Structure 1
Amino acid sequence: MSTALSPRSERFFLLTLAGIQFSHVLDFMIMMPLGPILMAAFGIGTHEFGLLVASYSFSAAVSGILAATFVDLFERKRLLLISFALFALATLACGLAPGYSSLMLARGLAGVFGGIMGALIHTMIGDAIPFSRRARASGIVSSAFSISTIAGVPLSLWLANHLGWRAPFVLIAAFSVFFLIVGLRFLPELRHHLSEEKRAHLLSATFSVLGDANHLRALLFSALIIFSGFTVIPYITVYAVNNVGIDQHDVPIVYLFGGFATFISARLIGHWADKYGKVEVYRRVALLATLPLLVLTHAGVWPLWAWLICSTSFFVLTSGRMIPAMAIIASSAQPKLRGTFMSLNGTVQSLAMGLATTLAGFLISLDGSGKIVGYPLVGYVAVAANLLAIWFVSRIVMHGRHE
């Protein structure tokens, strides 16, 4: 059963989750536009940069497996805020890292706690928001992606260009402390999932989740969506600067336009998904996403305005399909196992993210002039995974209608 919240409490609940998600998303997203700066600072290529991005994802995958053994045993608010505090410390450690290896270690620690947070946020939406409004709620929380691209990424890049690559991580740690205080004030306690019934053993809930065929279908669907996006996303900025001819100082404009557009579209897509059907809206948005995905990975030297049209369309549609998709995924879980399921889903998504980033890093390379070679092939791989997810979504049963 969903926890009943008053309209005002629900609004503060979702906005607070969006704020926490903002810190978490910005911490992950900032690595992509920092690519050219970090590659120059450490003297590394696309392979090493791909591993630096993937270290966060693989650590999040491991933490998701561990979290699945205990996440449904604790009250949601307390577990989220403890994970958030540790995440803030790990992000600060990124800003203080003296070199490439220590930065990779700090990124791994941030991934450990970020993975738990990501799963808990969507679990709490499923616990507290009725099915009929769940896609809209996901849209509000997903607006954190938009706000991070509108304000967070450009500000972080401005700081990086003027104060060095460490400054953005210190800024994100400061944001995290602020939203931690807000979370203490506005998040309700969620303990309805707690049961008097004792578990047979530590992994019993995990086995229960993995023993359900519908859960497995939802997890595969989740992996396909993430894989199709993160073969392309980590290298967009490097490709834009090295191949398309976008000036490094114009990169914040790209994220400003993309973020502003997704801020508007996320709310609309969430509303449409609740009104017209989550599966139908997902299919249409995901199908439309294939066009900018192909164009973006095949672009030559373009003026800034043409790149803005393509990259903004990519941001809107690639992130937009996640709104109905996450509502579908969260609603496929049995309510009493939702925390465990979403932790495992976080693991699956993180593994897909890490594998996609690593695979793309090996499919592409830098030629003698510094241009990326092999990006079109990455685009074809992403389209294939996206089309497979579109075909697969109808096989998932959503239990949430009856909560």
Structure 2
Amino acid sequence: MRVRIRRAGPAGCRMSRMSRVIAPLALAMFALGLDAFVVAGLLPAIATQFGVDTAQAGQAVSAFTLCYALSAPIFATLLAGRSVRRVLLAALGLFTLANASSALAPDFGILLLTRALAGIGAGVFAPLALAGAAALVPPARRGRALGLTMGGMSCGTVLGVPLGLWLAHRAGWQSTLWLVAACGAIGFAGIALRLPDVPAAPPPSLRQRLAMLLDRRVAVTVAVTFLIGVGSLGLYTYVAPILATGGGVTDPTPYFWAWGVGGVAASVSIGTLIDRTGRPRALMAVVLATMSVALALLPSTAGISIASIAVFAVWGAMGWSTAAPQQHILLGLQPRHGGAAVALNSSCSYLGSAAGAVAGGALLAGGMPATRLPFVGAAVIALALLLQWRSLRAGA
């Protein structure tokens, strides 16, 4: 009996080559996704280490997200026309060194500075990595290339955050930042060795992003995104103290798992719902209403593990469901400048996250119990729902 061995055809070879080239970008995005969300779970340990309260420790998240939001439009203008590969290496190098420096920070002020530098590196790297991934492949394979690259970031959130928290509980919070730095360093080496210099355009310039705001419909859409960042991502910063105060939870890892798993499940299915309904604005209204209710239920379920985990899963699902409908709406409003509109939406999301973290820290410093923060988040999401409803009525 003879066994016939089939060799991989040209399509399989192309896919293999694409995966090898995209893999370093995906690994770097894994590090970015891990770094963007894991620090929220490290706040109690950071506060203890540096002798600050939770409200002050939360500014470590604000520094990262604020610089992430602002660096992309600013540096897109400053670095226009430069080699994409060199800019990627410089941004990822800054991100990696900043995380290593965060792990070695001798005081809280240095930690804030290094978190800001990590945010700048991440904000420059992420949009350019997506543009580079799309330019590396033929148009027919761009969806897969973008999926692989963005998949790295989502895996960094869903798998990396619980892993990072597990590591922090056993080896200290600095070990998690060393993990981020290690992933960034491996990604840096892979990009230096495998990634060619791609003819991708740099991210949209600051002028292009600001021009989008001249369209009132675009302004309303990104305002909703900003409020979602304030109410949802800003609240995420203080999950650990909310659970500790409301339910005596000392290990928030299962709740971060639930949030991330719900988010991935929703992000996979939301595109199908958009295509089937053809009404992204109405779908956004449903998502916002559900998220507001979930946030309002957080304090009452904090001491009930199963109920609380379910609420976290719904919260994560609704939070991750907002990006695709908003992008769909913006691409319809600005077909000629869709890239700039979507990039502006992303910046508003992270800017809202930074504002929410700052506001939450201020409320805690002013004496508000941590268990009241979810009600504030629910109110902000309700405001976004009202704005979305007015937009929906105007569109109809």
Q: TM-score range by the shorter chain?
A: 0.7 to 0.9
Match of 1:287 among 286, 289, 304: 289
Is the contact made by 1:221 and 1:392 (CA closer than 8 Å) also made in structure 2? no
Which position in structure 2 is the counterpart of 1:55? 63
Q: CA deviation at 1:33?
A: 0.6
Task: Give the superposed CA RMSD.
Answer: 3.9
User: CA offsets, 1:350-398, max 9 Å, x none?
Assistant: 332221111122223597xx9625324423333224314533665999x
Matches within 5 A, 1:166-181: 166-181=174-189
* Cα 1:152–1:46 shift into 2, 3 Å: same
Match of 1:19 among 27, 37, 48: 27
* Cα 1:334–1:214 shift into 2, 3 Å: farther
Q: CA deviation at 1:88?
A: 1.0
* Cα 1:270–1:336 shift into 2, 3 Å: closer
Q: CA deviation at 1:171?
A: 0.6
Matches within 5 A, 1:116-265: 116-121=124-129, 143-144=151-152, 146-184=154-192, 190-191=198-199, 193=201, 205=208, 208-209=211-212, 211=214, 215-248=218-251, 251-265=252-266
Q: CA deviation at 1:307?
A: 1.8
Paired residue type of 1:225 = I
* Cα 1:65–1:145 shift into 2, 3 Å: closer
Q: TM-score, normalised by structure 2?
A: 0.78
User: CA offsets, 1:206-226, max 9 Å, x none?
Assistant: 665555556544433432332
User: CA offsets, 1:306-345, max 9 Å, x none?
Assistant: 221111221122122223334544675565683x656655
Consecutive unaligned residues of structure 1, counting only runs of 5 or more, are 1-5, 195-201, 398-403
Q: Which has the larger Rg?
A: 2
* Cα 1:222–1:262 shift into 2, 3 Å: closer
Which position in structure 2 is the counterpart of 1:359? 359
Q: CA deviation at 1:64?
A: 3.2
Deviates more, 1:26-35 or 1:136-145: 136-145
Q: CA deviation at 1:284?
A: 3.7
Q: CA deviation at 1:176?
A: 1.1
Paired residue type of 2:287 = V
Q: TM-score, normalised by structure 1?
A: 0.77
Using the alignment, how far apart are the partners of 2:264 and 2:332 within structure 1?
24
Equivalent position SS for 2:167: helix
Which of 1 and 2 has higher RCO (CA within 8 Å, sep 6+)?
1
Matches within 5 A, 1:257-276: 257-274=258-275, 276=277
* Cα 1:172–1:331 shift into 2, 3 Å: farther
Which position in structure 2 is the counterpart of 1:302? 303
Q: CA deviation at 1:184?
A: 4.9
Using the alignment, how far apart are the partners of 2:328 and 2:44 within structure 1?
35
Q: CA deviation at 1:24?
A: 0.9
Using the alignment, how far apart are the partners of 2:375 and 2:330 within structure 1?
29
Which position in structure 1 is the counterpart of 2:317? 316
Which position in structure 2 is the counterpart of 1:3? none
Using the alignment, how far apart are the partners of 2:329 and 2:86 within structure 1?
26
* Cα 1:244–1:125 shift into 2, 3 Å: farther
The total of aligned residue pairs comes to 379
